[in-house]
Structure formats: C-alpha cells, structure tokens
Structure 1
Amino acid sequence: MSDHLSDKELLDKVRLGDQESFRQVYDRYFNDLYGYTSALLQDRQLAEDLIQELFIHLWEKKSTIEIVHLKAYLTTALRRKIINVYRNNKYVDLDETIIATLPSPNGIDDKLRENDLEQEFKTTLNKLPKKCRNVFYLSRIKMYKNREIAEELDISIRTVEAHISNALRHFKVH
C-alpha cells in the first residue's frame, strides 16, 4: 500500500503530479512543522499560513525542485520563512546570532550532529576555489537560480553549471 512509501518514493510520485502522494507528504509532516512553527511564532494562524505557503511552493515547483532529504528541506525552508517573518514584521531586531539560536525541531542530538555536519560543510566549502565557492553559495545557500547567479557574477550560465558540478563532485569526495 502507498501509505508505507519512503519520502523518496513519495517525492518521485509528487514530481509526476500525483496528488494523493502529495497529500501523504502533507499529512506526514504537517503536525511536526506546525508544532515547531507555532511554538516559535506564538501565532497559530500565521504558523498554518507559513506551512500552507511552503506546501504550495512545493507543489508549484514539484517538477523542478531538487530535494535530497524531504524532512530537512521542509524544516529548513520553514525556518527561513520564520526568519523572514521576524525580519519583515520586525517582531524583533534580528541579527545573525539570534537567527542561529532558533531551535531546530529535531532535538538536541540532531542539533549536535547538525553542528558537526555544518562545520564539516564549511571546511569543505572553504577548500573550493573562490569563484566556485561563490557560485555554490549563491546556488545552494541563497537559493539563487543559475540565471541570477550568472547575471550577478557576470559569467555564463554554462560556467555557473560547471562550477556547481565541480563543487558537488568536491563534496562527494570529501
């Protein structure tokens, strides 16, 4: 039965436009995402709205979005939405140190592993040539489209793609 599909299997079906699989993804993650968001924002309606926006974006970009780990993607994207709410509505004057202290929904052990991975990621990222590192940062961290990166750095889209490929190969090796 399709209730027991892995995230990858569900994502593959969602990419093909399978609404039932999309519903299963929504049902699988809504409660965790809602608990995390409503606790941070202290606003249930806003929490629901942000989660709805997240899933609408996922559905609209289903055929082009690159997701390796669904739960990590959803929580990271939602965390960014929460940060934007704070910044845009000026709930608090956020700086990077406050943003870094926003709790992860995954617990303390996961947070420690996340910190180790983040440090390893930064170390590996810093080993890349500067131009390659900048392209990768804009692509994977800032979520720029290849066209936007090409325009900002005044390079061709093919060069952007080559830098991203090189960076990904570098990360696989390390």
Structure 2
Amino acid sequence: MDKLLYNQYFRFICFYAYQLSGDKNLAEDVAQEAFTSYFQQKDQVSNHPSAIKSFLYSSVRNYILNLHKRTQIKQRYWEKTTFKEEDPLNIEETILYTELLAEVETLISKLPKVCQQVMRLSYFEGLTNAEIIQKLDISINTLKTHRKRGLKYIQNHINPEFYFILCSILYP
C-alpha cells in the first residue's frame, strides 16, 4: 500500500516542490522528506486520499517556507538588514496547477498510445509540429487529428473545477 501511494503521488509532490523552490534536486529531496514524514506519522493522518495529499502538500509547503525563512535570516545576518516576512510564492495557485497537471496526465494516460505521445510531446515537452512529425514518423494530418482528439477527450472528461484553468492555459 505504501509503495503504491508513493508511486501514485511522488511525481506530483515533486513537481509541486519544484514549482515552489525552482531547484530540481531540492524538490526531489523535499518530496522524499514529505513522504518520510507521512510514513512516520500515518497513524495520525486519515487514510482518505484527500487527507493524505493535503498532508503531503502541506509538508512540502512548510519545508520550503522554513527553508526560505532560514535563507532570509542568514541573509539578514550577513547584510545586517531588517528581515521582511514576505512569501513571494502563490501557494494556492501552485497547488491548483499541480492538481490540474495530475488530472490531465491521468486523462492522457487513457488515450491510445500515439495520441498520448502527441499530447505529451506537444503540451508537456513543447515540441514543434515538425519535431513531433519527425520523432513519431507520422503525417501532419495524423498529428493534428491526434491532438484534436486528445484535447476533445480531455475537455469532455476533465473535472469541472479544472476546466476554466485548463482553457486559460491552452488558449491564452
């Protein structure tokens, strides 16, 4: 059960930590710490998935905020300036974005294989049409068809709370 939980959430918790820290290695360490903390305290946390996710997200957020505070304290000490308690991170927006990506990733995984590849290469890796065509050895029409089908499937099946956020990302 613990391994399944770890496999299910680690990528998203790691991505969330990366969004907050901007450091890939730190993000992996923080995500690992969040899971370690959860496994040590899981008897005190509800086994409901939303409670577990909330615990993991909160652990990451608190770790990053504490790290941020320590960095600011050190900087204040060395520069002898006043410490300003400012949180430049928009925590709620980052959580929502991470949850949206998790939802989209789940939906993409239900698409046919080539369609999955087109969607991931287009939207997650940011490849151009020419690069995707070359990589997958498909025609431009096949690429457009798979992209259209993938977007339609996601739009029809995405959780309604994420729909408008997804639209604002896809159609700025």
**Which of the two has higher C-alpha Rg?**
2
Task: Tell me the TM-score normalised to structure 1 length.
Answer: 0.42
More helix by share: 2
